[in-house]
Amino acid sequence: MTTPVPDDASLTPPPGCPAHGLGTEGLRRLYGPEAEADPAGLYEKLRAEHGEVAPVLLHGDLPAWLILGHSANLTAMRTPSRFSRDSRRWTAFQEDRVTPDSPLMPVIAWQPLCVFADGEEHKRLRGAVTDSLNRFDRRGIRRYVTRFTDQLIQDFGPAGRAELVAQFAEHLPMLVMTQVVGMPEEYGPRLVEAARDLMKGTETAIASNEYVVATLRRMMERKRVAPGADLVSWLMQHDAGLTDDEVLEHLRVVLLAANETTVNLIADTLKLVLTDRRFRAHLSGGHMTLPDALDQVLWDSAPMSLVAGRWATGDTELGGQQIKAGDMLLLGLAAGNVDPAVRPDLSTPLYGNRSHLAFGGGPHECPGQDIGRAIAETGIDILLTRLPDIQLAVPEEELTWTSAWLSRHLTGLPVSFTPRARGEGEAGAPGAVPSTAQAGPAATVPAQAGPSQAAPSAAPAQAVTIPRQRRGWWSTLTGRFRR
Ligand code: HEM
């Protein structure tokens, strides 16, 4: 395979790396201002230069392979005997070339987590997570989503305008996840804030991480004494016999994995609904359901562009490249989703087609995808039902994204709509507009009857109205986030 001569500034100078099949000479960086300005453009350059699998440089100019092909991604995900999840195999680690302060460390430093495990150990750890997640019924999740969506709309509804990334998408998933985990709602605002902080990698990210860990530790102590119907209790009780550290780390991973991805899915879907008239017409005209619409977004804007990663267990070949034992591979989910081999015409709709790579695949395929979808679907459905004339408040060209090496975020989505009074049209309120999300079985179940609640049948559907006390902290928080 030939590597064309570089012609732009994102290319790095020599020297190469003689110890590996990956020379640094002429390799493109996957980080830095140029790469982050247009990741999709970079992937296409790499595809044109190298085909399905391209050599790239990560932070610190450490070499890795980026998988661009749809089929090559699936091979790497589905063949753990050749492509392990255990980052300790990485040659760069073994040669002490990754500094402790490297920005790669939070993502790839090995931990006793299902994410980094293979084989039987992976089955043990993941089994505990999936069994516990599967104990939640989808209706319970949708009830939480309905309640929190209504709270968020109550907060910005009277203004007749909102910024949907900061005031909606960045709040909803974490609020729902606090209920899944089994936390009192009072923890919600600070956790939303901490997750935002971690996502943005600000200078307070370490303190935010410590807050998340301390909160989870406190929850574990409580649930040990008084277990509930929630993820903390179920993980602690699971037959896999997770240690306290394993429970804590898996809770942290679930919270963070669920948050960032679902935030992006909600923001990108709303952006499409608000900017693409054909898309919105298909949706409102019944030609496409919201779940089908989500699949289109999952194809075109994978919430995680890359997964880092897989590590070669021995010398092998992938996409025509010779991979050495200990080399790192990045799953290029966004690139694989637009591989011309599977999508010769990107404008052909793929509503409802689920063979995209957005949730990964093989033994590590996302175990929380149904929950992520339920949060996005229900939240968006209710928002569009409650605010039927919602529209973008700025020209589409003014929307911007920030990119980091693993994902890309819409920075803001300003909208306007007819102002609505608090409580107007909500489930249980006078003159309520029936939402399709609520027209299903979820609407028949009391709003407070989620798995973590003590008295499942105690409250009627009106319980979605926010108690005065909760509205107080809620308004304070969203007020602080307003831009
Ligand atoms: C739209 C939402 C979501 C997207 C796009 C997404 C995507 C992904 C991807 C790409 C992976 C890596 C797969 C691989 O390495 O092959 C993953 C793993 C994971 N996700 Fe999700 N995810 C989402 C929501 C969630 C939610 C809501 C939860 C929890 C409730 C969750 C929990 C996890 C966990 C625990 C793993 C690690 C699994 C393992 O290594 O065995 N995710 N997710």
Each residue of 273-295: pLDDT tens digit? 999 988 888 887 778 888 888 99
Q: What is the pLDDT of residue 352?
A: 84
58-95 pLDDT, tens digit per residue, is: 999 999 999 999 999 999 999 999 999 999 999 999 99
- Residue 429: beta bridge partners? none
204-217 mean pLDDT = 87
Residue nearest to atom 39 of ligand 1 (CA): 364
275 compared with 468, residue with greater pLDDT: 275
- Residue 67: beta bridge partners? 53, 331
5 compared with 286, residue with greater pLDDT: 286
197, 270, 385, 461 from 256: Cα distances, Å: 11, 21, 29, 30
Residue 294 in contact with ligand 1 by CB distance below 6 A: no
394 compared with 1, residue with greater pLDDT: 394
Kindly give the distance from the C-alpha atom of residue 365 to the centroid of ligand 1, in angstroms, as a whole number.
7
DSSP character string of 417-439:
-----TTTT-TTSTTPPPPHHHH
pTM of the model as a whole: 0.85
- Which pLDDT band, with edges at 50, 70 and 90, does 43 fall under? very high
Kindly give the distance from the C-alpha atom of residue 369 to the centroid of ligand 1, in angstroms, as a whole number.
7
Q: What is the pLDDT of residue 105?
A: 87
Q: What is the pLDDT of residue 404?
A: 80
49-63 mean pLDDT = 95
Kindly give the distance from the C-alpha atom of residue 335 to the centroid of ligand 1, in angstroms, as a whole number.
18
User: Quick one: DSSP state of residue 338?
Assistant: T
pLDDT averaged over every residue in the chain: 83
Query: What span, in angstroms and rounded, lies between the C-alpha atoms of 137 and 115?
Result: 24
pLDDT at 177 over 90: yes
Q: Which of 142, 255, 148, 145 is nearest to 478 (CA)?
A: 148
Q: What is the pLDDT of residue 209?
A: 84
32-59 mean pLDDT = 94
Domains of the chain and CATH, by start: 123-299+371-481 (1.10.630.10)
SS3 category, 415: strand
pLDDT at 6 over 90: no
448-461 pLDDT, tens digit per residue, is: 223 232 222 222 22
Kindly give the distance from the C-alpha atom of residue 285 to the centroid of ligand 1, in angstroms, as a whole number.
32
Number of residues assigned to the chain = 483
pLDDT at 47 over 70: yes
Residue 386 in contact with ligand 1 by CB distance below 6 A: no
What's the farthest any 2 CA atoms get from each other in the chain?
72
Highest mean pLDDT, choosing among 123-127, 180-184, 286-290: 123-127
Q: What is the pLDDT of residue 25?
A: 64
Residue 256 in contact with ligand 1 by CB distance below 6 A: no
pLDDT at 428 over 80: no
Lowest mean pLDDT among 127-141, 284-298, 408-422: 284-298
Residue nearest to atom 3 of ligand 1 (CA): 261
Residue nearest to atom 20 of ligand 1 (CA): 366
Q: For residue 357, which atom of ligand 1 is closest to its CA?
A: 10
pLDDT at 431 over 50: no
308-335 mean pLDDT = 97
Pocket test for ligand 1, best of 294, 359, 409 (most atoms within 8 A of CB): 359
101-113 mean pLDDT = 88
- Which pLDDT band, with edges at 50, 70 and 90, does 373 fall under? very high
Q: For residue 115, which atom of ligand 1 is closest to its CA?
A: 40
Query: What span, in angstroms and rounded, lies between the C-alpha atoms of 403 and 305?
Result: 10
pLDDT at 5 over 70: no
